[in-house]
Each structure stands twice: as C-alpha cells, then as structure tokens.
Structure 1
Amino acid sequence: MPAPITAEQTRVDREALLDAAERLFYERGIQAVGMDEVRASSGLPLKRIYRLFHAKEDLVVAMLRRRDQRWRASLAAHVEQVPDPRERVLAVFDWLAAWFAEPGFRGCAWVNAHGELGSSSEAILAEVRSHKRAFHDQIAAWVSAAGEPVAEPVFLLAEGAIVTAGITGDPAPARHARAATAILLGAR
C-alpha cells in the first residue's frame, strides 16, 4: 500500500501543476492544450491531477486566480515604491511597458481566457471579471490618491495598452497610454 500523500506533497504537486498549466495555457491557449500535455509537463499522473482539480475548467480558474494574485502584487510593489501620487499612477504604465517587453508576452491571460471560454464557462467568466474589477479598483485607488477624477479613462488606457501590446507584440502602447494619462492628470 502506498504511503498517504501529505499536505506538503499536495501543496508541492498543486504548485507544479499550476506552473505547468499556466505556462502551457498562456503560451498556446487553453483549448489547444490537452490534459495529457499538462500531465507530461507537470510530471504528475492524470489520476493525481484530477484529484487536485476535478475538471480542466477548475484548473484554469485556479491558474487564473493564482496569476491574478502574483500579477497584481508585482504591479503594486512597483507602483507603491513611488512616493508622489501622480507619478505613482504613471508608474502603472512603466510596469506595463516592462511586462510587455518580457520574452513570451502574449497579452492579457484573462482576456485570452475570456476569448476562448468566457461565453461557455460561467466559472472562467467570473474569474476574469473578478480580476478586471480588482485591477480597476487598484488603479482607481491610485488615481484617487492623486486627487483627479479620471479613474475610468486611466483604467481604459491601461486595458487598451495591454490588449494592443498583446496583439501587436510591441511595448509602445504603454508609453502612449502613459503620455495620455499624464495629460489627464494635468487637466482639471
């Protein structure tokens, strides 16, 4: 009889699985990647994978949720080191520019997931909406601290830059959105 699986082993297996799924789904798309590829990449047997996540949809939701926490924490760490509230808002676009220039950048994982499965999966749609609300709220808090009532246009500039950079493969939309945001922050 095999030894029981410990909580630590479950945690390690779950992280390995999420790492593999995130890399594959982001690089190639959710529907293009089969669970056999996730199994091979994670090194876990399918039986173990389905004990951790009962369906591929559950794995996708968990992957998006974990990515959201890491993505927004990285953004916040960058932005919140800037002392001036106005410059803090502009730092959002500096962080986006660096992200857009990373090797393997394929746009927004949530927009990509929505495009593939948002109309057929309530769970994925809910996770995408949750991420977008949280990102909106982050930006709104930074814009509010700058004393300007322009949270909505700044959020739309950020979202537009993300989508445009994902489609074009060019980090320049972050620079253009930053310049437009600077004008908004200066306008009364």
Structure 2
Amino acid sequence: MATSTVEPGVRAHIVDVADQLFYARGIQSVGMDEIRTGAGVSLKKLYAAFPGKEQLIAAVLSGRHDLWERGVHGAVEAATTPRDKLLAVYDFLESWFGDDTFRGCGFINAFGELGATSPAVAEIAREHKDSFQRFVQELTAEVVTDPERAEELAAQLALLAEGAQTTAAIAGTTAPAAHARRAASTLIDAATGLSRA
C-alpha cells in the first residue's frame, strides 16, 4: 500500500542532491526530473516528499541556513574576546570562500533568480539576512556599550560581510574576506575609540 510519508533519510538525500545542483547551476536551470534522477528516486516519491519545486527550494534554503549558522557560530565561539568574535566572522568567510564548491551566497543567488516571482523565496532570503544582522548586533553589543552606536556598527559589519560574499563569488578569490576583515577592524576601533597599529 502506497504511503505519502517519505522516510526522513530519503527526504534529506533529495534535499542534498537538489542543493548541490541548485548551488552549482542555478535553481531555474535544474528541473525536478533531473533531481529525481540524481537522487535515484521515483517521480512519485519525489513529489510525495515535495509536492512542488518551491517546497523543495524552501527545504534546500533551510538546510543552507543551518549550515551557515553552524559555520559562523562555530567560528565566533572559538574566538576569545568580544572584538575577536566579531572578526571571526570574516575568518569564517575566508575559509568558506576557499572551498572549491563556493558559488556565492545561496540566499543571494536564490533571491536574484526568484525574488521577483516567488514571495516565499524572497521572504526566506530576507529572514536569513535578518537573522545574520541580529547575530552581528548581539556581538557588537558586547563591544560597544552605546546601543545606537552598536546598531550602526552591526549594520556596517554585516554589510561588509555581504559585500565580501558577492565580490568573492564574482572574483573567484578569498581576498574579499581579508579586505572586509581589515575594514571591520578599522570600524570596530573607530566605534570603540581605539587606535591599533
């Protein structure tokens, strides 16, 4: 008897295959049939797991969000001082940009492809970016005591990270992470009234 429930492992495998294909080639250029073939599942099982492509895209982006969170939070937690925790964000970016599979931010890519036509994808991308902004703001609050200055610094540091991601994807180099880190260091020092050699 057929069931509409797909095993979590099979569902996760489909998401992984779709993520690899979407990230490497773009969402619109990859069809559900190609994902079915890559995942080695029947079309019936694929559509039982994901009734439409938008649900699959949402699952892929959810996985990307979790991967990002683990990476950036792990780098920050490994740092010792509040200032170093802020700068660890850029160290994480440099490591990520050096990965052979790096093709830019999956959320920026998805928004660029589908943001104008898919409100759901646009909302997922916005929430991901808002989540990162809130995280950076929590970190800046540990460095800058004035709430307004901390909020302004957080916006600047997040913007540096976002710009580095886009620039690194286009340039194909890790250098934007180092440039962003140096700029972040200058901004942090200006916000805290420090001067470093």
TM-score (structure 1 length as normaliser)? 0.94
Deviation at 1:156, TM superposition (A): 0.5
One-letter amino acid of the counterpart of residue 137, structure 1 = R
Residue 32 of structure 2 corresponds to 35
- The SS at the match of 2:78 is coil
* Distance (whole Å) between structure 2 residues aligned to residue 161 and residue 96 of structure 1: 8
One-letter amino acid of the counterpart of residue 159, structure 2 = L
Equivalent positions of 1:39-188 (< 5 A) are 39-147=36-144, 149=150, 150-187=153-190, 188=193
Q: Percent identity?
A: 41
- Give the aligned length: 185
* Distance (whole Å) between structure 1 residues aligned to residue 34 and residue 136 of structure 2: 37
Deviation at 1:10, TM superposition (A): 1.4
TM-score (structure 2 length as normaliser)? 0.90
* Distance (whole Å) between structure 2 residues aligned to residue 125 and residue 61 of structure 1: 10
- The SS at the match of 1:80 is helix
Deviation at 1:62, TM superposition (A): 1.1
Deviation at 1:65, TM superposition (A): 1.1
Residue 15 of structure 1 corresponds to 12
Deviation at 1:116, TM superposition (A): 0.5
Unaligned residue ranges in structure 2 (runs of 5+)? none
One-letter amino acid of the counterpart of residue 79, structure 1 = V
Bigger mean CA offset, 147-156 vs 51-60 = 147-156
Deviation at 1:139, TM superposition (A): 1.2
* Distance (whole Å) between structure 2 residues aligned to residue 172 and residue 162 of structure 1: 11
* Distance (whole Å) between structure 2 residues aligned to residue 16 and residue 127 of structure 1: 21
* Distance (whole Å) between structure 2 residues aligned to residue 93 and residue 119 of structure 1: 30
Deviation at 1:14, TM superposition (A): 0.7
- The SS at the match of 2:101 is coil
Deviation at 1:170, TM superposition (A): 1.0
Unaligned residue ranges in structure 1 (runs of 5+)? none
* Distance (whole Å) between structure 1 residues aligned to residue 50 and residue 34 of structure 2: 15
* CA RMSD, Structure 1 to Structure 2 (Å): 1.4
